[in-house]
Amino acid sequence: MLEVEGLNVWRGATHVLKDVSFTVAAGELAALIGANGAGKSTTLLTLSGLLRARSGSARFGTLDLTHAKPERIVKAGLIHCPEGRQIFQSLTVAENLAMGAYVRGGRIAPETMAEIHTLFPILKEREGVAAGTLSGGEQMMLAMARALIASPKLLLLDEPSLGLAPKAVETIFDVIEALKKRGIPILLIEQNAAMALDIADRAYVMEQGRIALSGTGRELAGNDRVRQFYLGAT
Ligand SMILES: Nc1ncnc2c1ncn2[C@@H]1O[C@H](COP(=O)(O)OP(=O)(O)OP(=O)(O)O)[C@@H](O)[C@H]1O
C-alpha cells in the first residue's frame, strides 16, 4: 500500500533522511519510532508532498508521492493527522469536523458522523464548544476524528501521545486500536515506544535519519537495543 525505498531528503544543507526504506501493507498498523530529531517528522512531510526527496521513491498505490502535489495526495486518501494543538482553536468542534469533509469536497454523511460519535462520545457532548477550550486529549480526539472524516485510505498519525496526561494517552491508544480493528491502515509516528510497539503489526526504529531496526512490534519490544534505548530497561 505504501512503499518507501531508498529515500534521501535534505533540509537546507542537512542530509536528514538517508536511504530510508519501509512499507505499510493493507490493513496494517506500522509504527515509526525514534528519538527527537531522528527524522520522523521529515518522513511525514515528505510523504505528504510538503518536502521533496532528492532521490529514492515513495509510492502510495499507483501514486508517486515524491512528485505529486499535496492536494493530490490528500485526495488519494493519504491523510495526515497532526498533533491535537493544530485544530482550529476558535472554531467549534462541529465546525472543525466539517473541515475534514471539506478537504474531500463534500459533507459529512450521517452514518460517518454516527461512527465518529461512537468512537469519540465526548465530541458529541462538546460539539458546540470552541475547540480551544477542550483538554489536550480531547483536542487530539478531535484531530483524529477530523482525519477520519476525510476517509483515509492510510492514516498518518503524528505523535498522538505528545504532551498528554497518561490517562488521555491510554484513551487515544484505545481509539487507535479500534481504528486498526476497522481495517484502516495506519502509520503511527511515536516517541512513546512502549505503547506503539504494543499495538504495531510492524515497526521501524529511526536513528539519525536511517532505519536502524525493523521487525514486528513484538520482535522489537524484545530487542535488547530497543529495550535499552527506547523502553528504559536496565
Ligand atoms: N527546516 C529545517 N532545516 C534544516 N534542518 C532541519 C529543519 N527541520 C528539521 N531539521 C533537522 O532534521 C533532523 C530531523 O528532524 P525531524 O523533525 O524530522 O525529527 P523528528 O524525529 O520528527 O523529531 P521531533 O520529534 O523532534 O520532531 C534534525 O536534525 C533537525 O535538526
Please, which residues have CB within 8 angstroms of residue 189's CB and are 6 or more apart in sequence?
Answer: 31, 32, 33, 40, 41, 43, 44, 156, 157, 158, 159
In the predicted structure, residue 233 carries a pLDDT above the cut 70: no
Q: Give this complex's ipTM.
A: 0.93
Overall domain count for the chain:
1
Inside any domain, residue 29: yes
pTM over 0.90: yes
Looking up residue 67, the CATH number of its domain turns out to be 3.40.50.300
Does the CB atom of residue 37 touch ligand 1 within 6 A? yes
Tell me, what's the pLDDT at 108? 86
Angle at 155 between CA 25 and CA 129, to 5 degrees: 160
Inside any domain, residue 101: no
Does the CB atom of residue 39 touch ligand 1 within 6 A? yes
Inside any domain, residue 135: no
Inside any domain, residue 209: yes
Inside any domain, residue 184: yes
Q: What is the pLDDT of residues 180-195, one digit of tens each?
A: 999 999 999 998 999 9
Q: Give the closest residue to 100 by CA, choosing from 124, 116, 118, 111.
A: 116
CA of residue 17 to ligand 1 center, whole Å = 10
Inside any domain, residue 65: yes
Spatial separation of the C-alpha atoms in residues 86 and 41, rounded to whole Å:
15
CA of residue 43 to ligand 1 center, whole Å = 10
Range of the domain at 11: 1-77+177-234
Does the CB atom of residue 42 touch ligand 1 within 6 A? yes
Inside any domain, residue 85: no
Inside any domain, residue 43: yes
In the predicted structure, residue 17 carries a pLDDT above the cut 80: yes
Q: Give the closest residue to 221 by CA, choosing from 186, 193, 190.
A: 193
Q: What is the pLDDT of residues 57-107, one digit of tens each?
A: 999 999 999 999 999 999 999 999 987 678 999 999 999 999 888 876 778
